[in-house]
């Protein structure tokens, strides 16, 4: 399926039809990786070498371009472990990728284009030893990267004050609502006092890039069989709530960018009752970039 076809489907299929289709498809006896191959339920775009390099470099620069030997954490790598390779090429000493499940492609051939693209860039480490790796496990060992696929438990297993650069790209909105505060606390615990976290947050629904997810009352939305199992779950926390959660965890939050719709994209009366009283600013915020530094131990 081409990118143009996916974009057309995303634009023109109504949000309610997408919910019906995803709820149905998620219950078919088809492995999730098969859906990923045709573009459904795909957790991210990091298999594109240029995108993977650009995302990491953006967060790395926002963190002050840490020098050789820095440690990193990527929250939510999705279908690709590209960050492990890119971070090593940029001088990392090692790091960890933490996700809520085992979504990543484990075919070494999928990482060859990334290695080739990095080899073309000036200032990168010598990649010949990585190009000789015959498996993804060997590649991860060569770049001193670990992968955890158990979400919050994986974060809790990491050493305190051990990460120089933590980052995520449109992932925080997917952290389960009941786990968000604990996730913020764990991110604070593992970040070095001198470290920086950089996060891109997407506040749009994952149905039609609007706020259709706010139409549902909390008990319905959070049912295990509904949004979370069907690939369109977001925790629906708004910008002020995410900012407050990180501040409560002990972070100083610097807002680099706050993207806004010109107007609230849907009438307030279309939202579930618990969302109708939200501020205009929260309901107009479609995305944000933030930096987190530690204010307390």
Domains of the chain by residue range: 43-203+238-294
Distances in whole angstroms, Cα of residue 253 to Cα of each of 68, 120, 280, 293? 26, 36, 21, 7
If you search the block for the tokens 């076809």, which residue do you land on? 5
**Under CATH, to which class is 43-203+238-294 assigned?**
alpha beta
pLDDT for 224 equals 84
Distance CA 188, CA 229 (A): 28
User: 2, exposed or middle or buried, with CB in 10 Å at 0-12, 13-18, 19+?
Assistant: exposed
| 94-98 and 71-75 strand pairing | parallel
Note down pLDDT in tens along the chain; length 297 residues.
444 444 445 556 776 467 656 655 555 555 555 545 445 444 445 578 999 999 999 999 999 999 999 999 999 999 999 999 999 999 999 999 999 999 899 999 999 999 999 999 999 999 999 999 999 999 999 999 999 999 999 999 999 999 999 999 999 999 999 999 999 999 999 999 999 999 999 999 988 899 999 999 999 999 987 777 667 899 999 999 999 999 999 999 999 999 999 999 999 999 999 999 999 999 999 999 999 999 854
Helices within 26-66 (DSSP H only): 32-37, 49-62
Beta-strand ranges (E) seen in the chain are: 71-75, 94-98, 145-148, 163-169, 191-202, 251-260, 285-294
- Helix 180-190 to helix 239-249 angle (10° resolution) is 50
Q: What kind and span of H or E run contains 136?
A: helix 136-142
In this structure, what token pair is assigned to residue 54? 């650009």
């Amino acid at each position: 399926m081409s990118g143009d076809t996916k974009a057309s489907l995303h634009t023109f299929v109504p949000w309610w039809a997408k919910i019906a289709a995803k709820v149905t498809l998620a219950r078919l006896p088809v492995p999730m990786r098969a859906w990923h191959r045709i573009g459904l339920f795909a957790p991210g775009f990091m298999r594109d070498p240029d995108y993977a390099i650009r995302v990491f470099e953006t967060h790395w620069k926002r963190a002050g371009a840490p020098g050789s030997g820095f440690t990193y954490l990527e929250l939510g790598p999705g279908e690709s472990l590209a960050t492990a390779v890119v971070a090593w090429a940029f001088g990392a000493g090692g790091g960890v990728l933490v996700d809520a499940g085992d979504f990543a492609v484990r075919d070494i051939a999928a990482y060859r284009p990334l290695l080739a693209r990095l080899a073309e860039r000036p200032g990168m480490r010598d990649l010949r030893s990585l190009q000789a790796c015959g498996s993804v496990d060997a590649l991860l060992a060569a770049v001193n990267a670990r992968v955890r696929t158990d979400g919050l438990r994986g974060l809790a297993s990491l050493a305190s004050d051990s990460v120089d650069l933590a980052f995520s790209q449109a992932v925080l909105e997917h952290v389960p609502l009941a786990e968000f505060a604990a996730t913020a606390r764990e991110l604070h615990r593992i970040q070095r006092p001198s470290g920086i976290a950089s996060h891109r947050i997407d506040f749009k629904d994952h149905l039609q890039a609007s706020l259709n997810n706010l139409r549902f009352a909390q008990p319905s939305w959070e049912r295990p069989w509904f949004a979370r199992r069907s690939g369109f779950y977001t925790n629906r926390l708004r910008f002020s709530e995410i900012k407050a959660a990180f501040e409560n965890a002990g972070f100083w939050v610097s807002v680099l960018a706050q993207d806004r719709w010109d107007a609230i994209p849907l009438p307030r009366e279309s939202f579930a009752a618990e969302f109708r009283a939200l501020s205009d600013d929260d309901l107009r915020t479609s995305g944000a970039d933030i930096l987190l530094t530690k204010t307390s131990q």
